[in-house]
Amino acid sequence: MAALFQECTSLPQKPKKAASVSTTAPYWSAAYVSFRNGVTVFAVTGGVLGFLLVARHYL
């Protein structure tokens, strides 16, 4: 969970990295970075919703 939170807090720095990668590498690497960001957002959202579901059960 802490790793996901650190990943989420470092998101504002990713567009700069993605821009430099997409200009020097083929288009698929930019697509890979975008896909990885999507997976990260999905994982963080799922983790938060799962946590809230469990917390609601115990509170």
pLDDT tens readout for residues 3-53: 544 444 444 555 555 555 445 567 778 889 999 999 999 999 999 999 999
- Which phi and psi angles does 10 have, rounded to 5°? -90, 5
For the entire predicted model, the pTM comes to: 0.47
pLDDT value of position 4: 45
Domains of the chain, by residue range, sit at: 2-58
pLDDT value of position 59: 77
pLDDT value of position 5: 47
pLDDT value of position 25: 61
Distance CA 9, CA 2 (A): 10
If you search the block for the tokens 């990885």, which residue do you land on?
Answer: 36
If you search the block for the tokens 């975008």, which residue do you land on?
Answer: 34
